[in-house]
């Protein structure tokens, strides 16, 4: 509807001699009242009359002025417009050109090597992939980045446990998952025996000092994690343009902090009881420890050089961090330090999100610590395979598995994105896999049903719909579907503006409902020739829009289900 809002606002502005902003239009609470509504409060002020009177005057003035307007009515201080269906259909999904596009970097996923990729990482990955797609759709230049934690005490714990207790193990095919179990086991062992903690500290020092044997083991096992992560990313259809590493940023961070201390240009960064801190109390952000008194580097020291690199090397306008909401204060501190380093005019944004939990008893992690992605996905896939096999006894194993995988991924991704970012998600596999309700499989099922209609239409004699025949679309369910399709671009703009795919998820469910309502109330294949072709054209446009939306949620569509 963006295009028609622009057209109407220009024509009204010219006619009235008053600037009408396209953003002033809203949607009436009931579609029978009209397609768009314009509040007349500002116009009334200019004319020095009350808003309801202004609306009435305008309605009279607009009668017969524009051929694309079928009707103009008033509802109190609102002016309601109903457009000619031919005009509406012609403008479906015509993209408005943005006046300004940005070059942005979206940093997301950020798993730690030598640990599990768990359901919390999954929410982050789904959110990041969707925001990358949405920003690219509206024209922004996007660099998708991943910042991996490949150094720190967790690495030392994993290497210690592997070297001490598991170096003679026969390695499984999925070495990354195996490494995650080694880490979880190490955590438990270290809680039981404090003597082990000294051994871990010793190993960490050797790694930091470049011990050849430990460094070789670190590189080898790090690759195990990366191979496992890449398998997951390939499954989720996630691709990154840039990778950053904590081990590299740690070195840069030490140099940067040394330089800041020597220059003394940032008074907030200073020594305190043997540690290096950033005292941000006067900025309302408390103290951030950068380097501990024992010399160990903390996250802030690594995030500062990385933040600089993003703006200096990649020349971006905006840096977006997708990180869970427990890090909100920390990122405010990092952003303030980047401001103090000279980046106060560069936009930095934290997309916060909350936890993912599971219904009690629905799934158990074999690690005994967290629910790993592998365990989680396997459980969902098994349920999907059973249901698909039940529905299609004539399908071979490959057909069942291919469709079950798409259904599983749609169920997972849509469930991760349909909630407000800051709401806790309770993932229920059976509910997420349902073919009705607000689920990913319901959207896929809607696509499959449209495909089935097209398949049958191919067997009939069919002609291309003529533009003038669009006026045959007179049913309410037809008009509602046309209007819903027309809202697509502005919904995507809202996703980009609010950094939240929830509005697109809601839109797609409403679109699917309107599609289903349309073909329940309006026969397609049994309609008269011209009407049949127009309704097929409408279904085709609806399917195109639904699949575009699925793509922006990083969900692959299906041919049949």
158 is written with which tokens?
Answer: 């994993």
Helix axes 212-236, 175-192, angle to 10 degrees: 120
Predicted confidence at residue 362, as pLDDT, reads: 54
Average pLDDT over residues 6-16: 89
Q: How confident is the model at residue 461 (pLDDT cuts 50, 70, 90)?
A: low
Predicted confidence at residue 367, as pLDDT, reads: 47
Closest among 424, 446, 457 to 561, alpha carbons compared: 446
Predicted confidence at residue 370, as pLDDT, reads: 76
Distance CA 238, CA 232 (A): 9
- Per DSSP, the three-state class of 20 is coil
364 is written with which tokens?
Answer: 């158990």
Indicate if the pLDDT at residue 529 is higher than 50: yes
pLDDT mean across residues, the chain: 92
Predicted confidence at residue 98, as pLDDT, reads: 72
CA angle (465 as vertex; 460, 468 as ends), nearest 5: 145
Q: Which run of H or E residues covers position 446?
A: helix 440-458
Distance CA 182, CA 57 (A): 76
Tokens 């209609």 identify what position?
A: 453
Distance CA 436, CA 482 (A): 22
Residues of the chain with CATH 1.10.730.10: 373-552
CA angle (375 as vertex; 423, 401 as ends), nearest 5: 105
Tokens 């330090």 identify what position?
A: 337
Q: pLDDT, tens digit, for every residue of 284-342? A: 999 999 999 988 889 999 999 999 999 999 999 999 999 999 999 999 999 999 999 99
Number of Cα atoms under 13 Å in the Cβ half of residue 10: 6
Task: Report the CATH fold assignment for 2-83.
Answer: Gyrase A; domain 2 (3.30.1360)
Range in 58-67, 86-95, 139-148, 523-532 the model is least confident about? 86-95
Closest among 393, 392, 376 to 432, alpha carbons compared: 376
Indicate if the pLDDT at residue 219 is higher than 90: yes
Range in 62-71, 414-423, 489-498 the model is least confident about? 62-71
Q: pLDDT, tens digit, for every residue of 114-150? A: 998 999 899 999 999 999 999 999 999 999 999 999 9
Q: Across-strand partners of 456? A: none
Predicted confidence at residue 4, as pLDDT, reads: 86
Predicted confidence at residue 93, as pLDDT, reads: 59
Q: Which residues have C-beta within 8 Å of that of residue 225, sequence separation ≥ 6? A: 111, 113, 114, 115, 176, 179
332 is written with which tokens?
Answer: 């405010």
Closest among 519, 482, 486, 489 to 503, alpha carbons compared: 489
115 is written with which tokens?
Answer: 């640990």
Question: What are the residue ranges of helices labelled H in 118-192?
Answer: 119-137, 153-161, 175-192
351 is written with which tokens?
Answer: 């997309």
Q: Which CATH superfamily is domain 373-552 in?
A: Isoleucyl-tRNA Synthetase; Domain 1 (1.10.730.10)
Average pLDDT over residues 356-379: 74
Indicate if the pLDDT at residue 410 is higher than 50: yes
Secondary structure, 3-state, 482-503 = HHHHHCHHHHHHHHHHHCCCHH
3-state DSSP percent of the chain in helix, strand and coil, to 5: 60, 15, 30
Indicate if the pLDDT at residue 459 is higher than 70: no
Average pLDDT over residues 520-548: 93
For the chain, give the percent of residues with pLDDT over 90.
77
Helix, strand counts (H, E) of the chain: 20, 13
Closest among 365, 376, 444 to 407, alpha carbons compared: 444
Please give the radius of gyration of the chain, using alpha carbons only, rounded to the nearest integer: 29
Distance CA 518, CA 16 (A): 38
Q: pLDDT, tens digit, for every residue of 259-274? A: 999 998 899 999 999 9
Residues of the chain with CATH 3.30.1360.70: 2-83
Indicate if the pLDDT at residue 16 is higher than 90: no
For residues 234 and 461, which has the higher predicted lDDT (pLDDT)?
A: 234
C-alpha 462, offset from chain centre: 39
- Per DSSP, the three-state class of 324 is strand
Q: How confident is the model at residue 538 (pLDDT cuts 50, 70, 90)?
A: very high
Distance CA 542, CA 72 (A): 27
Q: What secondary structure letter does DSSP report for 149? A: B
Indicate if the pLDDT at residue 366 is higher than 50: no
Closest among 556, 527, 553, 551 to 539, alpha carbons compared: 527
Q: Across-strand partners of 347? A: 318
Predicted confidence at residue 202, as pLDDT, reads: 93
Strands lying side by side in the sheet with 269-272: 269-272, 275-279, 287-291
CA angle (177 as vertex; 217, 246 as ends), nearest 5: 55
Q: Give this prediction's pTM.
A: 0.92
Indicate if the pLDDT at residue 96 is higher than 90: no
Provide the 10 A C-beta neighbour count for residue 60: 10
């Amino acid at each position: 509807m963006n295009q028609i809002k622009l057209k109407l606002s220009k024509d009204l502005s010219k006619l009235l001699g008053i600037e009408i902003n396209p953003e002033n239009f809203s949607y009436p609470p009931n579609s029978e009242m009209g397609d768009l509504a314009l509040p007349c409060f500002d116009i009334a002020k200019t004319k020095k009359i009350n808003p309801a009177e202004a609306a009435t005057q305008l309605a009279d003035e607009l009668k017969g002025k524009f051929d694309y307007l079928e009707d103009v009515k008033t509802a109190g201080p609102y002016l309601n417009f109903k457009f000619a269906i031919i005009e509406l259909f012609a403008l479906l999904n015509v993209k408005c050109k943005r006046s300004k596009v940005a070059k942005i970097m979206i940093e997301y996923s950020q798993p730690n090597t030598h640990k599990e990729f768990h359901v919390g990482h999954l929410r982050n990955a789904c959110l990041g992939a969707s925001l990358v797609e949405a920003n690219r759709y509206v024209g922004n230049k996007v660099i998708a980045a991943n910042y991996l934690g490949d150094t720190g005490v967790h690495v030392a714990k994993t290497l210690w446990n592997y070297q001490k207790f598991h170096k003679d193990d026969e390695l499984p095919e999925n070495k990354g998952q195996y490494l995650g179990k080694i880490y979880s086991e190490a955590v438990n062992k270290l809680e039981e025996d404090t003597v082990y903690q000294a051994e871990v500290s010793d190993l960490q020092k050797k790694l930091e000092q470049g011990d050849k044997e430990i460094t070789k083991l670190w590189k080898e096992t790090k690759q195990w994690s990366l191979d496992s992560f890449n398998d997951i990313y390939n499954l989720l259809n996630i691709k990154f343009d840039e990778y950053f590493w904590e081990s590299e940023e740690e070195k840069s961070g030490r140099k940067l902090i040394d330089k800041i201390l020597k220059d003394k240009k940032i008074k907030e960064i200073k020594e305190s009881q043997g540690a290096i801190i950033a005292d941000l109390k006067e900025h309302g952000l408390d103290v951030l420890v950068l380097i501990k008194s024992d010399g160990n580097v903390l996250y802030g020291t690594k995030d500062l050089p990385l933040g600089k690199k993003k703006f200096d090397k990649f020349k971006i306008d905006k840096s977006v961090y997708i990180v869970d909401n427990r890090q909100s204060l920390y990122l405010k501190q990092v952003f303030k330090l980047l401001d103090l380093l000279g980046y106060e005019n560069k936009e930095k944004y934290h997309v916060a999100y909350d936890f993912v939990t599971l219904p009690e008893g629905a799934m158990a992690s074999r690690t005994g610590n967290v629910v790993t992605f592998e365990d989680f996905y396997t459980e969902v896939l098994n349920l999907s395979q059973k249901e698909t096999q039940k529905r299609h006894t004539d399908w071979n194993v490959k057909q069942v598995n291919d469709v079950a995988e798409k259904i599983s991924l749609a169920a997972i991704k849509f469930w991760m994105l349909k909630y407000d970012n800051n709401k806790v998600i309770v993932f229920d596999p059976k509910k997420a896999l349902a073919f009705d309700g607000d689920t990913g499989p319901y959207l896929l099922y809607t696509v499959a049903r449209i495909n089935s209609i097209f398949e049958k239409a191919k067997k009939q004699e069919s002609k291309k719909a003529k533009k003038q025949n669009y006026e045959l679309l007179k049913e309410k369910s037809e008009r509602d579907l046309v209007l819903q399709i027309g809202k697509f671009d502005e919904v995507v703009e809202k996703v980009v503006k609010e950094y939240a795919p929830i509005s697109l998820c809601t839109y797609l469910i409403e679109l699917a409902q309107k599609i289903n309502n349309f073909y329940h109330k309006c026969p397609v294949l049994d309609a008269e020739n011209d009407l049949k072709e127009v309704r097929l054209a409408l279904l085709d446009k609806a399917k195109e829009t639904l699949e575009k939306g699925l793509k922006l949620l990083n969900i692959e569509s299906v041919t049949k289900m």
